[in-house]
């Protein structure tokens, strides 16, 4: 989901209501990939983040392990695609 969409959604909510949001950004993907020794660009990081969001297991949520797995899957796919 794009930041703009979240803002619009939140603006239509009760502003006094308590909420819990875990926020993951493209920078989280880029920094984790770098720590893993993988080179990805902003567009690839956005793809990975979108893929994670689309396939999230709501029982488990998104964790650093989920981020690393998303990067690993993307890198493996990129290798087989070339």
Q: What domain range is 42 assigned to?
A: 23-81
Q: Judge whether 2 lies within some domain.
A: no
Looking at the predicted structure, is the pLDDT value of residue 35 above 80? Answer: yes
CA dist 22 and 1 (Å) reads 13
22 versus 31: the higher-pLDDT residue is 31
Q: How far is CA 47 from CA 15, 31, 51, 52, 55, in A?
A: 31, 15, 6, 9, 12
Q: Judge whether 13 lies within some domain.
A: no
Q: Judge whether 58 lies within some domain.
A: yes
Number of structural domains (the chain) is 1
Supply 79's token pair.
């290798």
Q: Judge whether 8 lies within some domain.
A: no
Looking at the predicted structure, is the pLDDT value of residue 16 above 80? Answer: yes
Q: Model's pTM, two decimal places?
A: 0.81
Q: Judge whether 30 lies within some domain.
A: yes
Q: Judge whether 40 lies within some domain.
A: yes
Q: Judge whether 31 lies within some domain.
A: yes
pLDDT in tens, 60-80: 899 999 999 999 999 999 988
Interval 25-45 mean pLDDT: 97
Q: Residues of the chain with pLDDT > 70: what percent?
A: 99
């Amino acid at each position: 989901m794009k930041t703009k969409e979240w803002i619009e959604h939140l603006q239509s909510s009760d502003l006094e209501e308590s909420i819990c949001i875990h926020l993951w950004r493209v920078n989280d993907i880029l920094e984790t990939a770098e720590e893993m020794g993988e080179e990805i660009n902003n567009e690839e990081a956005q793809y990975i983040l979108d893929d994670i969001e689309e396939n999230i297991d709501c029982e488990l949520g998104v964790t650093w392990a989920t981020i690393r797995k998303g990067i690993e899957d993307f890198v493996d796919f990129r290798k087989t695609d070339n």
